[in-house]
Every structure is written in C-alpha cells, then in structure tokens.
Structure 1
Amino acid sequence: MFPVKNRDIKKKDAEQEYRQLFHDFCDSLGQLYHRKENVELWSLHFDSLLKTYTSHIPAARTGMVVHDVSLYDHCRTTAALAASLYLYHSSKDDLNKSSILDGHTEKLLLVSGDFYGIQDFIFSAGGEMRHHRSKILRGRSFAVSLFTELAADMLCREIGLPFLAVIMNAAGKFHLIAPNTQDAMRAINSTETQINDWLFDISCGQSTMGITATPAATDEFTGSSFKALWQKHMSNMESRKCSRLDLNRYGGVVSGYLDRFNNELNSRLCPLCGKRPSSKEAENDKIIYRDTKGSACKICRDHVMLGTHLVKNKMLAVLDASSAPTNRTRLLCPIFDKYQVIFTDNPLEKEAAEKRLFKLWSINIDKDGTIPTGASAMLLNGYVPLYGPEDEHDDRLLSGKRSQEKTEEMIDLIKDKTPKTFAHIAAKALFVEVRDDDSTELKGTEAIGVFKADIDNLGAIFGCGLADNRFTISRIATLSRQLNNFFTVYLPHFLSTETAFQDVYTVFAGGDDLFLIGPWNRMAELALHLQDQFHNYVCKNDDIHFSAGITV
C-alpha cells in the first residue's frame, strides 16, 4: 500500500501482474457470502472485494488525463451519481434523454452527516470504571464508528438509495449523494430527528449528529465547478455546527429522568458513567461482573460488551432490532432503536435469507496483513495487545510495588487471548538489570504513555492540494480513503507484527488522527517511526505531516 519510485516495468510483466490480480479476484469472488440468500447483502461484500483489489489500480479514462483516480473510487462515485439521478428522474416521470442530459437543474443533494462531541463521548468522565477502563474506552470508540456507519445506512434506507451512494465515511463524518426531491428532504429531516432523539436519550445531550444537504446541478460535479460546490457545502456544514442541539425540542427539563431510577438495584446511579440510571436488564451482568454483583446502565454495559468481544470474534453482524435473535453479545440498547449488533463466527445465512441481516462485517485485518474476504471488510477495530503464554512467566507483570492481593488479581487476568489491562501495559515499561552476582532486579518506572496525533491542515490539503480542474469528488474520495488506510490498515498490522510495539493499545485510529496507549518508554520511539513511515506514505511530501503529543 506504500508508494514506490517509478521504475521501468516491461509490458509483459505488467500484464502478468494484472492477470494474476484478476485471477485472485475471481477466486475470492466465489468465496463471498449470501449470493443465494440475499443479493443486496452480497452486493456489499462484492463492493468490499472490489475495493480490496482495485483501489490501487488507476481508472483507465479516455482522453488526455492524469490517471490518478483509483478504479474503485471511479466506479463507486459513478454508481452513487447514477442511483440518485435514477430516483430523481423517476420521481419526475421524465426518464428520457433530454431530461437526463439537462445539467443546469439542481437534481442532486450533497449530503453529509457529522457526529458532534466525539472526544467528549469517548472520554466522558464520571463514575468509577477502574476495572473496566480499557474495555469501556475500546467500546466507546467502536460505538462512534458504528453510529456514523449506521446513520448513513439508515439515511440511505429512508431515501431508498443503495449504500453505494455513500462516497466517504471516516472520522465521525459521512458524505453521500442523494436525489433533490421533497421525499428525500423529508427523509433527511426525519432521520436526523430520530438519530438525535436517541443520542439525546443516551448521552443527556452531550453528543448529537448534524446532517447537512446542499442542492447541486450535475454540471457542478464536472470540471472546475465542483470545488466551488464543495466549499459551499463545507461552509454549510460549519454553519450547522452552530446549532448542534434544537433547544425547542430538547431544551428544558428532561421528562421522566428521575422516574428511571430503581431503588431496588445495587446502585441507582450507574457506577461506570455516573450520569445515567442503572438498568434492571444490566444488573449483575456477567460480561461486567463475572464473580461479583453490581449495577450498570444499558449503555455502559453495551460498551463493555463491545470492548470485550471485539478481540474475540472475527465478524460483526448488524440485524433488524425488531427481529434479531437472542444472543449474549447483543446490545441491550439497539442503535437508533433500529439496529441490533451481535458478534459471530458464522455468516448467518438464515437471517440473511429472511432479510433480517443488514450487514456482515469482517472487523480485523489478518495477521499476514491481508484483508479478509467472504464478508464485507470493515476495519473498525484497531490493534489491541493480548496475553500470550509468554506473559505467564514475565516477572514484570507479577512483581513491582503492589499488594499481594493486587498481584494475585493480575495473575488471574493473565489468560491466553485476553486483552491486556492498562496496569499490565504499564508494567511492560520495566526492564531487567543483571547484577554482578548474576541475580536480576527490575528497574524503571511503571507507567503508561499516551500518544495522540492528527494530520496538520487537513482542510487546506483537501481545499488547496488539488488544482481547480482536478478537484473532483472521485479524487477527494481517493485521497480520503488513502489517508484513512494509513491508520486503519497499516497501523494495526505494524503494531501486531513489530515486537517492540506489540504492547501498544489502540483507543482509536482512523480518518486523520490516532490515540494510542502503551509503555511510556516506547512511545517516543513509536512516534518517530510513525512520522518516518507517514512521510514515506505521502511520497515524502513535506507539506503533509502530522503533529503529536505524548503524556506520561
């Protein structure tokens, strides 16, 4: 996935490479799930496979053009435009050549969703979550990715669009193309209201989602006109941020809040978040309280469940909440009251045939760095260090300045394929010193380092990085996806294979930023390595870089 310098390649060798790629694509095509059970679901798997094999193949467009758009992004944007134009002209009952070729009428909507309050949602303070801190952070980060993915899906379903209409989805934002019809506008407003009603209920107004729609003519998607359209749309999105919460709808006293508290539970207020009432459904939940009893709200229980099972299962299924099967790993609070999520290791063919299965995602990259096929590859899960047999004999995890009770607790936690706790990650900062008499002693400071980084001047990169006549929606999609791939494809593979950094924990990584936690004495070295690798990834362009900070 990293660019290499141009070199002389013989035509015969290039043809052989393409032939092998096509052969591998055909082999993988036969492995896709749900071809017989659900063609719509199969098409999502096909789209994922197409992205895997063609995202680095240039689109062979005609004319004197620079072949700098990937074949995948060219196909995806073409499909998005075609689907929306079909719905527009169908609604007008003018599916004829002259009407379709009219490029001046505002037939389309450029639609974007923006999840507000990501940092506050993930790092929400309050409550006592010491024993579950890593799982809750992992679960909250994953939940944000689910919210934007499923918000885009919900909007497409309400409008009647295929999910191929979504052009970009990363870093808490999604962009799609929709028909400019009254029905589409009603669907956008209705979807935004449903989403924010649910978000207000679970976050007490802390997090919301804004959906912005900008009308556009088809001619504005061509030539140098698209840049002005995009900048106008970005300005509309910024204006939408100024009214994140509809005070007419959500202002004042929260109706029924005090009535939700149950005095019969161990704790009326959720001890994990400290702001939501505990729920009877989450009382003494075995995912949180294995050997003890305790309370939790449904949202915190769901976040712990997500954080626990992300590293245990290969696939994630999204089902219709009204008819989803009972499963221990299901959500107690379905997303937007419409989407149920369960972890699975099988393709759920029965649910697919009954149209109850909306999505089936492979959520982890393979150990050898390849992207799995079969289901849609949705690499939402970052690298998480797991215990291995070697940790059972690592003195750094069992020694140090801690009580006997704490040491015994840590021994119990060392199990194969279990995520490491932050306490164990901190212990990895210690090193063994050999004395003159060949005895050993642990030295160093037992602490974690927090590493956060994001790409500098991202708006300027998108706004000024492409010339006006090359500023197109397909190029923006290519650029966005390639930047996202560094954090969602390269970074997890690097952390899982580089021995020096295998104890680094990913809180989130995607879009244009990352947040990592690891042994404090590894983080500076990791920062320098990622800086060098990102420099190589962007073809050593000195104008594209990221800023980072480390806290111990």
Structure 2
Amino acid sequence: MSREYQTVILAGLLHDIGKFIQRGEFKGSLKVAGKHPAVSASFIKAKSGAFDKVTDISLLVELVQRHHETTRFPPEPRVQQADSSIRPLAYLVSAADNYSSAEQGEESGEYRDYKTGPLASIFSRLKLTNPTPDVNHYRLRPLNPANSFPESFRQLAPEQTNNYLKDFGRDFDKIISKVNLSDFDCLYTHLLSLLQRYTWCVPSNTQEMAPDISLFDHLRTTSAIAACLYLYHQRENTLNERDVADNRPDKFRLVVGDLSGIQNYIFDIANIGVGGVAKRLRARSFYLNALSEAVSHNLIHEFDLPVVNIVMSSGGKFYVLLPNLPGSFERIEAFQQELDRWSVSQFGGELAVNLAQLAFNGQAFNNFGQVLGEISERLSKRKSAPLKGYLVKSGVWMTDNFKMHAYNGEEGLCQSCNKQIATYIDEHGDKLCENCRRDLLLGTMLPGASYIAYTMTDVPAKYRVSTFHLHGDYSLAVLADAPEADFPGYLICKLNETNIEEIPDHPALPKFMANYIPLAGEEHCTGCPGCKDEKKPAFGEPVYFDCMANRSRGRKMLGYLKADVDHLGSLFVYGLRDNQDDRNSISRIATMSRMLDLFFSGRVDQLLNIRFKFCYTVFSGGDDLLIVGPWNEIVDLAVTVQDDFKKFTGQNKNITISAGIGLLKPGVPVSRSVMSADAALEESKERIIKRETEGRDQLTFLGRTMKWSKVAPLLETANQLSSWLDSEKLTVGFLRKLLNLSKMHRCYYEHEEVRGLKYLPLLTYEIARNLAPPGTRDTDAQAVRLWAENIKNLDHDHTVYLDFLVKYALLTKE
C-alpha cells in the first residue's frame, strides 16, 4: 500500500471520530467544541504520534476535517475549501461517507443533545407484517454480549458518558505505547478493535427519529468504500473532482461467498466410536468456518484491501466489497475455478465454495438491501450448478475430472469417514485419513484455545503442531497464549474478548465464537459407564456423548437443538423498508448483521459457560445454532435462548426464531441425530397450528409443535406431573392411558372427527377409577384431581398438548 492510500483508508475510519470525542470534556490540547469534523481533526493532531509513521499527517487532518459538501455546515469543514492539490481525495472521503450513510433516516424534527443521545436498537424498526415495538436503546458499555441488550430509556447520563470517553482515551494511549506503529495493518486493526469496543453503542447520527446506525459500523464501511474508490480511480486515472463525484459508473463489485455442503460434511462420520466424535465434530465445524474466513481473506489480499472490506462474515458465508477494476470479473471467475478444482481434490466435491458477484454504482447504496437481493439470486443460480468451473469447460463435461485418483494405501480406508485412504494410526490403533487426523488434533486443542492466527508462510517449529492448512497458501494456528513477535501471522484473533493489547506486534481483532464444550474432569465426568472403557477421555478433553447422556434427568438421552432466525433474507431485503422511507444503507445492514452474529456467536457461548455446562456446541453463529446435550438441559437451553433473543431484539415480533429438538440415544450416528433435529426445525417453520395464520416462531419437540408463548407454561405443567409421579399421586399407568386418550382428542380437535369425542366419557371413567375422589383432604391429591378435571375442556392448552405433557413427564423417569 502507498502512504497516500493508507492515509485515505485511515481517514475513512476516523473521519467521524469527533462525533464520539465531542460527547465528553477533556483538558489540554484536545478541542471538543464546534462541529464534529473539527473535533476529528483536533484528535488527529493531538495523537499524531500514532499515525505519522504510516500516513501523511497533514493530509489525514485535512481529509477528516473537510469531508462534507452540504451547505448545512459552515465553509470551513466543506470539501470545497480543501486545497486544490488534495481536493479530489477530500471528495473521495466525502463520497464514501455519503455512500455509507446513503439513507440517513427521517429527522426527528427537534434538536437532540448529541452528548446524551443513545443508540437505538437496530431491531426496533424491522418490520415485515407485525407492528414495530417501542424503541429501546443501548447503555454506554464496552462491547460484550451480556452488555448488548437494549433498555427502555431516552437519555444517557453526562457523567457516565465522560467516564466512558476517559476509558477510551486511556486504552487509545495504551495502543500508542505498545503497538508497532510502523506496521499499517497492525495499527489499523488495533484501532478498529478499539473503535468496535467503544463505539458499537454510539449512534452515527443523533438527530434521526430513531438513531439506530452504530458509529462503529458507519466508520468501518466508510473506510471500506474509500479504499474501493481510491483503487478504482487510481487504476482508471480519474482521480479528479468531477469523476470522483460522479455516482453513475459501476465503481464497486460485491462478492458473496457461501460454503455449501457444511452439514453433510460435519455429520457424515461413519463410526462414532473412532477417534472421539466429540473432538471431531466441533473441529470440523470450526475448521470450515476458518476455511470460509481464509477464502474471504484471499479476496481482500488479491485486491490489496483492508480487512473492513469483508463487510459481513458469519456461518460460512461472507460479503466482500471490491473496486470494480478492469478484469475483476475474470479474476473472480478464475478464483472460482481454482476453488472448484481444490474442492474436488481435497474433499471429493462434498464441500463447495460458491461465489457470486455483482457490479453496482454509488446510487445503489441508497438501497443496499436490493443489492443483497440481486446477488442472492445469483448465488442461488451458482449453487444450482456446484463445481461447474472444474467439471465443465466450454459447455462440455470434463469426464476425467469426475474421477477420484487414490492410491492403495496399506491401511485401507479411514475407519472414521470410510471415504479417504488411511495414512495414520492413532494411539488406540484407529486408522485415520489426513482430514480425520486433523480433526482429531484440532478437536483436542480447541477447548484450550484463546487465540486463532491466520498465516500465509511457514511458522516456526514450536507452532507447527498447532498449525493446520486451510487453502492455497493459507493456514490457521490454534493457540492457548498470545503469539510471540516471531510468529508470521497476518491476522491474530482473540476469542470472546475485545481487549487485545497483549498482541502488540501483529494485526489483531477480537472474534466472538461459540466454542464451549464440556470437558472431562471432576465437574463434567464422574465415572459414568461411558467413561469406564479403555478409551475414556483424558482430563481436560471433550467428554463422550454417552457421558453427556448420562447427565440427563430420567431417561439417558441426548437432545439435539437446532434453531435459526425466521425470514432472515426478507428481513435484510425488506425489513428496513416502509411506505415512507427506505433505510437499507450498508451501515445499517452491517449493524444488523454484526449484532445477530454477536448473539449467536457470543451470547449463546456465555449461556453455556454460565448455566448449561453439560451442553456441547457443534456450531452457533450468524443466525443459527446446533447444540447437543442432556435432553432436559437442551430443553431449558432452548427456552433460555428464545427468551434472551426476544430481549436482545427489543421484543420485536417481526424477528423471531424457530427451533427443533431431536431426542436420541447417544449411540445413534450423528448424521441421523441431526436429521431428527432438522426435521423438527422444518416442522416448526412450516406447521400452521390450529387458529394460527402461519408457522414459525415455534418449537417442535416430542412430536408436537408449539408457539414459544406456550412452551414455558407447558413445561411447568409437565414438571408438575413429574413431581406427582415422584410422590405417587399419579401412576405411570394412568399417564399412559391419558396418552392413548389424547390421540382421540386430536382426531376431534385437529380433524373434526366425531368419534374423537369418546375422549370425554373415557377420561371421566379413568379419573373416577384412578384418582382420589372430590373433597379429599390431601391437598396434592386435590390438585391432581383439579388438573385432570380441567383436561375435560376440549380447548384447554393442557388438553390440546396432553400427549406432550405426558411424554415429557414419562421421560423424567428411568
């Protein structure tokens, strides 16, 4: 990168830092009075020692000070007042700022104090078919999933704001004192991390009716757009005022990448006893996510872009913003062909990285949701013909490329996957291929990982055992401690923590990742039958699945919880529109995407660490999750995730999640178990319950689909039945008869078959025969009798879901 290019990128990142700084009171040389561009410039001048080794300070000051063209600002901060020699660059940063916030939203109509105005929840105004709720706001707190729930208040306390800014200033000074300021990428990523930590909860524009764009997301997308504009105009030799201001040419290219075949690859483990399924399952999920990240890194490195140009990335899918340079289309298509070839040679075509691309102009930033909709259609078309770049040439099938060339190894097929040739025998005598051996090693290291490091060169010998190849020149190291200065990583990610000051010599970012799994030890492994064979897990290693099952209440079963956000595509494309206003700016969409991933990657991991310690994360990130654990704990987790998600999204009924729970024995192959959870989730999505108008926003478990609003009360009743079983106020025999009677009731209730009305007289008979008579002095017996009499009401929830209540209560018994 040239010094001028680095200055432009940094100007995009810091152009509105004054909006944050001017909220506080500072003594000394830092000016906080006046318009925010002047405050941004004052900040750059006061902290010039942090930037002067990698940027042109005078140019940086001018670009952040003069990035507005509107006459609403006095002459001094306007682009037109910049020196003619740098004016094109000032217009460039101004254009990036405008594109990032292409739709500023409806003004409130009244002046609001920018010092005390809080950030509104991005989820508050999402709308599909339901009314939107009251707008909730965020407190000023460093980024942490637990701190990211909006609250009902309207103004921040000035004293708290000032203290918050002092903390920011203190941490910024730590960066200056520790970080390698001669390395632009190192400085840039540490600044980006600091801004994320502190400005995620600061509004970009306090004067909107609902200021819901995070300043952090506005800054990072402005920097990304500025980088694209600079490279475009430099290559086209059009770095002048007129051409920079022209928003008609297609200066941008968006690339979406999607890793297909993830689920089949993760769960297609032929022999669950070989190599430790718990290790390999989490390792495969983690590896594929890292692989997707590496592919996105490859794109930004190919086009010489900063990390912010990966505008969204989670769950095996990413969006990269590129300059629309000559030959860009061909370069990306060539990359697709290379990915297709690699997929066949490395994974036999089980996995495929599908890329789609779309060129667009500056005007399209006014409705970035439409851009996402168009590129999504192109991605769907690409996915309908996977691996075409390798299997087809000039419209002709390349038949030789369909052949898998394997050698006859002495060990035969891998005992784990039954697909690749075995090249390794582990300490238990299991024969494994290279991929399954990698999964085994990676799965052993992941529980103790605090950092992941991406590298493109050979690593020192001490790091090789923890380094795994991804794609091409890209590899990943899994580290328990921060890497030393000699580690050749181009990006270090600290897991689940935003303070990265202990990584001063490398480009570094925080990364929230749901990485929790129960480990063998006194708390998680107490000598259950699954741990008594000769292959029991060592202390600190992932516990076996049958160990988790043995933690279950009653029957020793595993629960597989699968959940995702309903109507996600529609929410991104249409959720920010209404009849008066389109609010689909790239900043707002980036805020929504980042916050969703924060919940599934960060908050879910916290829940498992704090409350659900015997559950195992297969994956959780983006907008979905799959978690395995003792069946009763999985049910409680599902309810907790739903409750937290409602609070996280401000009780907005337009954004909901659906979930399914599969209940299986621990010895059932993982692929079949996940299919059960998949089927339950699909039922939650599609099944329309009587008297409802649509599916979704539901849980399916034990063969019944329920709206979330009914789940907690039904579980309470089911647990009460279990308690009555324990105290012998109910018998298993009586409950089994109720189970049969519930089938009759459903014939009437759901299918309107009159013969189902036999339910009532038969229920009356069973109550009289099995329960205490009315008027008994035993209060528990009275409660049982009252409950049983209530289920004579054909529309009562306990009657409608009687089979669920009974099955749950019986599950709690051995």
Q: Kindly indicate whether the alpha-carbon contact (under 8 Å) linking 1:451 and 1:515 is maintained by their aligned counterparts in 2.
A: yes
TM-score, normalization: structure 1? 0.84
**Pair 1:520 & 2:666 matched:** no
Q: Kindly indicate whether the alpha-carbon contact (under 8 Å) linking 2:561 and 2:627 is maintained by their aligned counterparts in 1.
A: yes
TM-score, normalization: structure 2? 0.58
Aligned equivalent of 1:308, options 433, 444, 447: 444
Structure 1 481/461 Cα, relative in aligned 2: closer, same or farther at 3 Å? same
Q: Kindly indicate whether the alpha-carbon contact (under 8 Å) linking 1:118 and 1:144 is maintained by their aligned counterparts in 2.
A: yes
Aligned equivalent of 1:445, options 555, 558, 576: 555
Distance 1:124 1:30 in 2: 49
Deviations 1:150-183 (A, max 9, x none): 1010011112222221100012111121111124
Distance 1:339 1:121 in 2: 21
Structure 1 107/518 Cα, relative in aligned 2: closer, same or farther at 3 Å? same
Structure 2 letter corresponding to 1:427 = N
Instruction: Give the number of aligned pairs.
Output: 503
Structure 1 208/451 Cα, relative in aligned 2: closer, same or farther at 3 Å? same
**Pair 1:472 & 2:585 matched:** yes
Distance 1:13 1:414 in 2: 51
Residue aligning to 1:547: 658
**Pair 1:50 & 2:171 matched:** no
**Pair 1:484 & 2:597 matched:** yes
Structure 1 336/179 Cα, relative in aligned 2: closer, same or farther at 3 Å? same
RCO (CA 8 Å, sep 6+): is it higher in 1 or 2? 1
Post-superposition offset of 1:196 = 2.5
Aligned equivalent of 1:13, options 138, 146, 159: 159
SS at match of 2:447: coil
**Pair 1:387 & 2:523 matched:** no
**Pair 1:532 & 2:643 matched:** yes
Can you give the 5+ residue segments of structure 1 that lack an aligned partner in the other structure? 431-443
Structure 1 418/342 Cα, relative in aligned 2: closer, same or farther at 3 Å? same
Structure 1 317/234 Cα, relative in aligned 2: closer, same or farther at 3 Å? same
SS at match of 2:486: helix
More displaced 10-residue stretch of structure 1: 154-163 or 64-73: 64-73
Residue aligning to 2:237: 93
Residue aligning to 1:436: none
**Pair 1:462 & 2:598 matched:** no
Structure 1 letter corresponding to 2:511 = M
Aligned equivalent of 1:426, options 525, 538, 549: 549
Q: Kindly indicate whether the alpha-carbon contact (under 8 Å) linking 1:142 and 1:380 is maintained by their aligned counterparts in 2.
A: no
**Pair 1:342 & 2:452 matched:** no
Aligned equivalent of 1:118, options 259, 262, 280: 262
**Pair 1:277 & 2:445 matched:** no
Distance 1:125 1:408 in 2: 21
Structure 1 502/127 Cα, relative in aligned 2: closer, same or farther at 3 Å? closer
Deviations 1:180-199 (A, max 9, x none): 11243233123222222222
**Pair 1:508 & 2:619 matched:** yes
Written as runs of structure 1 = structure 2, the 5 A alignment for 1:366-381 is 374=503, 375-381=508-514
**Pair 1:413 & 2:413 matched:** no
SS at match of 1:469: coil
Q: Kindly indicate whether the alpha-carbon contact (under 8 Å) linking 1:362 and 1:378 is maintained by their aligned counterparts in 2.
A: yes
**Pair 1:243 & 2:356 matched:** no
Q: Kindly indicate whether the alpha-carbon contact (under 8 Å) linking 1:487 and 1:509 is maintained by their aligned counterparts in 2.
A: yes
Aligned CA-pair RMSD:
2.6
SS at match of 1:389: coil
Q: Kindly indicate whether the alpha-carbon contact (under 8 Å) linking 2:514 and 2:602 is maintained by their aligned counterparts in 1.
A: no
Deviations 1:33-83 (A, max 9, x none): 5545x431442233233222221211137x656421101110111011110
Post-superposition offset of 1:299 = 1.5
Distance 2:249 2:317 in 1: 27
Q: Kindly indicate whether the alpha-carbon contact (under 8 Å) linking 1:89 and 1:95 is maintained by their aligned counterparts in 2.
A: yes
Residue aligning to 2:205: 60
SS at match of 1:311: helix
Can you give the 5+ residue segments of structure 2 that lack an aligned partner in the other structure? 1-146, 664-814
Aligned equivalent of 2:307, options 134, 150, 163: 163
Post-superposition offset of 1:519 = 0.6
Distance 1:304 1:28 in 2: 39
Distance 2:334 2:180 in 1: 31
Structure (1 or 2) with the larger CA radius of gyration = 2
Q: Kindly indicate whether the alpha-carbon contact (under 8 Å) linking 1:165 and 1:176 is maintained by their aligned counterparts in 2.
A: yes
Q: Kindly indicate whether the alpha-carbon contact (under 8 Å) linking 2:274 and 2:430 is maintained by their aligned counterparts in 1.
A: no
Aligned equivalent of 2:492, options 348, 360, 367: 360
Deviations 1:198-223 (A, max 9, x none): 2222211111111111111112113x
Structure 1 214/324 Cα, relative in aligned 2: closer, same or farther at 3 Å? farther
Residue aligning to 2:283: 139
Residue aligning to 2:354: 210
More displaced 10-residue stretch of structure 1: 225-234 or 169-178: 225-234
SS at match of 2:472: coil
More displaced 10-residue stretch of structure 1: 533-542 or 298-307: 298-307
